[in-house]
Amino acid sequence: MQGIREIKRRIRSVQSTKQITKAMKMVDAAKLRRAQERAESSRPYAEKMKEVIAALAAGTDQVDHPLLEVREVKKTGYLVITSDRGLAGGYNANILRKVTMAIKERHKSVDEYVIFVIGRKGRDFFKKRNYPIIGEIVGLSDSPTFADIKNIARTAVNMYAEGLFDELYLVYNEFISAIQQVPTEKKLLPLVDLEETKEGSATQYDFEPSAKQVLGSLLPRYAETLIYSAYLNAKASEHGARMTAMGNATDNAEEMIQTLTLNYNRARQASITQEISEIVGGANALS
């Protein structure tokens, strides 16, 4: 009888877990839809800004700005985007594995790179292993605004402009679908992909006070916008990964409940059979 009671207790425990994971899946499904909308709404702004900057660069005889300067690489910066919470499958592990492998391949010393990190999981990982973190931000909401990441984005861009490192990489999970998030590394700085993509259809602009001054003002904002767009993309990936993980957990709980229920029925049947045998045996002994 103890075995039957134990099985019933486990069934109730797994059912409670299933209810929790199912609810979490539904919550992250709703958050994923909103995160996708924010990520998609940020693209037109970034694309239009790139178009304007390309027109500025094309109309300026001598483009001279630190963010466009390709330098000999002596030191590299990495801006790594992770999540604050777990229960998201391999979301954080995959991106942290990618950045640590890149660091191992490129650098022989901790003096050759610095790390900016968004998200508690990444921050804790790097701190525990004594990586050189020079900027961090944690505790962001599930509905982030540009103001939330402005400080770390501006710091990273300004430090590159000041020559404190010679290239800056963005490392984050790129959203493909709810079940697919790809660990991605993109070189953000120097900005080398500003050529106009639509030949013959570029809009003509008049700039005040001058194209060169406007370009100098827009370039840092454009780099910061790319960081924000990457963060929105990573946030959608996080919700997709967590929704998938909670869906798998719910399915596994359902399979476990079925197995435990089968074991419970077998144990109960065996107990009943044993009781009948004892009654029959007792009756035969009396006769």
Taking alpha carbons only, the member of 93, 114, 101, 90 closest to residue 185 is 101
Across the range 2-31, mean pLDDT stands at 89
Residue 61 has a pLDDT of: 59
10 assigned to some structural domain:
no
- Angstrom distance (rounded) from CA 77 to CA 98: 15
Q: Given phi > 0 = left and psi -120 to 50 = alpha, else beta, which region is 228?
A: alpha
271 assigned to some structural domain:
no
190 assigned to some structural domain:
yes
Number of domains within the chain: 1
- Angstrom distance (rounded) from CA 18 to CA 44: 40
Task: Take residue 185 and report the two structure tokens written for it.
Answer: 């590394």
Cβ neighbourhood burial of 267 (10 Å; 0-12, 13-18, 19+): middle
29 assigned to some structural domain:
no
Task: Take residue 152 and report the two structure tokens written for it.
Answer: 């770390």
142 assigned to some structural domain:
yes
Among the residues of the chain, which ranges form H helices? 2-58, 91-106, 120-128, 146-161, 211-286
171 three-class SS: strand
pLDDT digits (tens, 9 = 90+) for 178-190: 888 999 999 999 9
pLDDT digits (tens, 9 = 90+) for 71-80: 899 999 999 9
pLDDT digits (tens, 9 = 90+) for 183-213: 999 999 998 776 554 444 455 666 666 667 7
CATH no. for residue 177? 3.40.1380.10
Q: Answer yes or no: is pLDDT of 160 > 80.
A: yes
Residue 198 has a pLDDT of: 41
Q: Answer yes or no: is pLDDT of 129 > 80.
A: yes
Across the range 159-185, mean pLDDT stands at 93
185 assigned to some structural domain:
yes
Domain that holds residue 230: 41-244
274 assigned to some structural domain:
no
Residue 218 has a pLDDT of: 84
